[in-house]
Structure 1
Amino acid sequence: MQPDKELREQILELIPQQAPFRFVDEILEVDGDRIVGTYRFKEDEFFYPGHFPGAPITPGVILIETMAQTGAVGHGIYLMMQKGMSLDDIKSQVTVFSLADQVEFFTMVAPGTRVIVTGEKVFYRRGALRSSVTMAGEDGNLICRGTLTGTGVRLHG
């Protein structure tokens, strides 16, 4: 059974990255093994004027960050909720990268493109989530993929 819209919106609200560095618009699906989210790269994103002037494309590091925010952070928040972690405990943590492995890029992403990110849990233990993550366009064509690991760390105290 798919979590209701209210739970998916709550997970989205708990993702600590905020504008202009939030790259998740919506969580479509989530369960213990998988998450699917979307993001549309706006025409006026802060990085386009410099990457590249007159011919903007989305930087690869931003694509990895986009995959991580859904596939590691959003999914990790869901898994913490399922383990009974309080919302205050979840809010006191951020997820930091501990591994970005075998990341491959297949095509460029232009301003205005809507992407679909799918993360599949490889393992979740001791606060670390390793996920196999893919990003595709709305047409289903693969943009990039990789294995990402995020670990929750406390922000304060």
Structure 2
Amino acid sequence: MTLLTATQVMEIIPNRYPIFFIDAVDELIPGEKVVARKNVTINEEVFQGHFPGEPVFPGVLIVESLAQAGSIPLLSLEGFDGKTAYLGGLNKVKFRKKVVPGDVLRLEVNIKKLKSNAGIGIGKAYVGDKVVCECEMTFIIGAK
């Protein structure tokens, strides 16, 4: 069930095409958790070169999708609206499986620590019930 559409997400986070990767939010607990979706389609420009004849969604864009999803519960908090959540660090990044056109990424991020203008989130990206990527992200909340 869709809680927020892509258009509604754009009211929360500043990302826009061509670097906007959230198609819907299915679950949101401000300051705590988000479950979002990214539909991977063959029409994405990145597949022209990554890789011809074997399209694979780049791992760095999976992490960017997780970071965008992780910024939603932070920027949904009172006092953080209209701000930007910058990615301040990544730890324990692991890729488990290729992501290809037609896959739907389920992006789950749990905020495990929030202090002043910084937070730490644990992100996992799934295709179906398989984890394709996981990481720990540090966010810094700053003005636009």
| Same fold by TM-score greater than 0.5 | yes
Cα deviations by residue, 1:31-87 (Å, 9 ceiling, x for unpaired)? 14211111101211121111111211011110100011002x112112x23xxx2xx
Letter in 2 for 1:30: L
Distance 1:35 1:6 in 2: 11
Query: What's the secondary structure of 2:36's corresponding residue?
Result: strand
Provide the aligned length of Structure 1 versus Structure 2.
142
Partner of 1:69: 68
Which of 16, 19, 23 does residue 18 from structure 1 map onto? 16
1:72-151 pair list within 5 angstroms: 73-78=71-76, 80-81=77-78, 85=79, 90-91=81-82, 93-137=83-127, 139-151=128-140
TM-score relative to the length of structure 2: 0.89
Distance 1:90 1:143, change over 3 A: same
For the residue of structure 1 that corresponds to 2:98, the secondary structure is: coil
**If you compute each CA radius of gyration, which structure gives the higher value, 1 or 2?**
1
Q: Aligned runs of 1:23-62 on 2, under 5 Å? A: 23-31=21-29, 32-62=31-61
Cα 1:127–1:9 change in 2 (3 A) is farther
Whose strand fraction is larger, Structure 1's or Structure 2's?
2
Q: CA deviation at 1:10?
A: 4.1
| Deviation >6 Å, runs of 4+ | 6-9
Q: Which runs of 5+ in 1 are unaligned?
A: none
Which letter maps to 2:107?
V
Going by fraction, where is helix more abundant, 1 or 2? 1
What is the RMSD computed on CA atoms of the aligned residues? Answer: 2.1
Please report how far the alpha carbon of residue 9 of structure 1 lies from its aligned counterpart in structure 2 after TM superposition: 6.7
